[in-house]
Chains A and B, each alone.
Chain A
């Protein structure tokens, strides 16, 4: 399960509208809570917008500069936060993970949030947790989003 505030939820959806027709992307900082079986509960304390470095195909690809991740990890440690997930948008495409999303997902236990943006307006937002023991058997499983 992914828990986040109303303002953070709206912020990541709005980011997708602002970058339309390109994909937006960002990082979710917070903490890992108790485990519920195989799934992990994550509480988001902050949403950090990132730039999409895929300038060659920003309408259907995203990539976050690792230096941004290092900076956010460093800042997070100072505030007792971890990287617990990521978000991006799918312009004019469903809020479901794609084969590319799965192939490029490597942060096990983290959330991958996807917002569909239809003609510039944020539509559906779904979250998927990357599960599995390694690259060979990884899966993106839909998880509940709790907005409060």
Chain B
């Protein structure tokens, strides 16, 4: 009986803690990925770290997962994730702590170029 009450008390405290201290960052979805996020340009998900927020995003929209992560669960190299205006790779990566009002932006890279050195011969 005593143990049951203790467990219930702990569960209550745990729930209260999460309801108070779990933030709801907004994740900005780039246009090519919106077909996998219910056409939403932004999604609010709970999470106290970038990793938690991204996990929440792909849990809610599972079709996004293969576009963001490799088969072995690593974020794809061309997927940039910014917390406000900071690249998470230069923060604490997916362990980066979030605070109230933070915005996470998913930004696939934009790059390219005309040719390799040997491709120059294709001019015409």
- Determine how close the nearest CB of chain B comes to the CB of A81; give it in whole angstroms: 10
* Minimum CB distance partner of A101 in chain B: B112
> A27 CA to B108 CA in the complex, in Å?
13
Beyond A92-B123, A98-B119, whether A70 also contacts B112 by CB under 8 A is no
> Do B111 and A109 touch across chains, with their CB atoms under 8 A apart?
no
Q: Judge whether A101 and B113 touch: CB under 8 Å.
A: yes
Q: How large is the interface on B (under 10, 10 to 19, 20 to 34, 35 or more residues)?
A: 20 to 34
CA distance A85 to B116 in the complex (A): 24
Q: Nearest CB to that of A110 among chain B residues?
A: B32
Known A-B contacts A66-B80, A67-B82; A94 and B124 likewise in contact (beta carbons under 8 Å): yes
How many inter-chain residue pairs (CB < 8 Å) link A and B?
109
Q: Is the interface of A mostly helix, strand, loop or mixed?
A: mixed
How many A residues have CB within 8 A of the partner chain?
Answer: 43
Asked whether any CB of chain B lies closer than 8 Å to the CB of A32, the reply is yes
Query: Which of A60, A66, A105, A108 has a CB less than 8 Å from the CB of B82?
Result: A66
Closest to A61 in B: B113
Distance in angstroms between the alpha carbons of A82 and B124 in the assembled complex: 35
A130 CA to B66 CA in the complex, in Å?
18
Q: Which residues of B contact A101 (CB under 8 A)?
A: 112-114
Judging by beta carbons under 8 Å apart, are B110 and A86 in contact?
A: yes
Chain A residues with Cβ under 8 A from B113's Cβ?
23, 54, 57, 60-62, 88, 98, 100-101, 104
Question: In the complex, which residues of chain A have a beta carbon less than 8 angstroms from the beta carbon of B66?
Answer: 134
Q: Closest Cβ of chain B: how far from A32's Cβ, in Å? A: 7
**CB 8 Å contact bits of B13-37 with A (1 = contact, 0 = none):** 0000000000000001011100100
* A to B CB contacts below 8 Å, 24 in the list: A23-B114, A54-B111, A54-B113, A60-B113, A60-B116, A61-B112, A62-B113, A64-B110, A66-B80, A66-B105, A70-B107, A73-B107, A88-B113, A92-B120, A94-B124, A98-B119, A100-B115, A101-B112, A101-B114, A105-B112, A107-B31, A107-B32, A109-B35, A110-B31
